[in-house]
Amino acid sequence: MISFSDVDLELDKKLIFSKLNLTIQQGELVYIVGKSGTGKSTLLKSLYMDVRPKKGEIKIAGYSSKTIKKRQIPLLRRKLGIIFQDFRLLEDRNVYENLEFVLKVTGTKQKLITELVMHALESVGLEHAAKMMPLRLSGGEQQRISIARALVREPLVILADEPTGNLDPDTSLEILDYLKRINQKNITVIIGTHDYELVRHSPSRTLQIVGQNIVESTMEKSATGFRPAVASS
């Protein structure tokens, strides 16, 4: 379970969230929606302790923002898989080596590394690309490699920060399908996005950033397409 209890989050001395209370159960797929600059990335960063709350407490994967030590943050991040909009693959290493690197830095034995890397690549249908360089792949394939990299340590939670932001609509739906498959393995998946059409296409629990808080939302149709709307109580 992930929880925020009376959390204040600041970025560059600006208050982004105030007295935030939120609970996400293990195995949920949750969208965090809002316009660019509203705090989606800040919220996700707080879950891997890149941004620490000014007040309140965040609990995730057995750790608390109040008690976690600096040396424990890498241990927390081993339980999380993080996917970025811009892929962040190492361009001087092939696909296999990109995933291998994640495991080597944690001291995983080589025999197990090979097994985990190939299993992760198979899960996104790219085992044949293991020896290819990232820049030879399409944008959608690079993001699938990013998903495999996030999966390779068998995480409890996947955090996806605008994972389809650089992709065309059809490829975006493909990436979303892979994230849904991951979620079906009882892995919590949290997707920060401003792509409301993506959310409409595959509805799940949707949380909308409204001012300095987050509220449960539904998707409603407007003249310009689909947009989130605060759910009625």
Q: What is the pLDDT of residues 30-86, one digit of tens each?
A: 999 998 889 999 999 999 999 999 999 999 999 999 999 999 999 999 999 999 999
pLDDT at 36: 86
Domain ranges (residues) in the chain: 1-42+58-81+156-195+206-233, 86-154
Q: What is the pLDDT of residues 178-206, one digit of tens each?
A: 999 999 999 999 999 999 989 999 999 99
d(CA 190, CA 206): 10
pLDDT at 222: 59
> Could you write out the three-class secondary structure of 96-136?
HHHHHHHHHCCCCCHHHHHHHHHHHHHHCCCHHHCCCCHHH
The pTM assigned to this predicted structure is 0.92
CATH architecture assignment, domain 1-42+58-81+156-195+206-233? 3-Layer(aba) Sandwich (3.40)
Residue spans of alpha helices (H) in 53-109 = 73-77, 95-104
pLDDT at 232: 45
Q: What is the pLDDT of residues 86-112, one digit of tens each?
A: 999 999 999 999 999 999 998 899 989
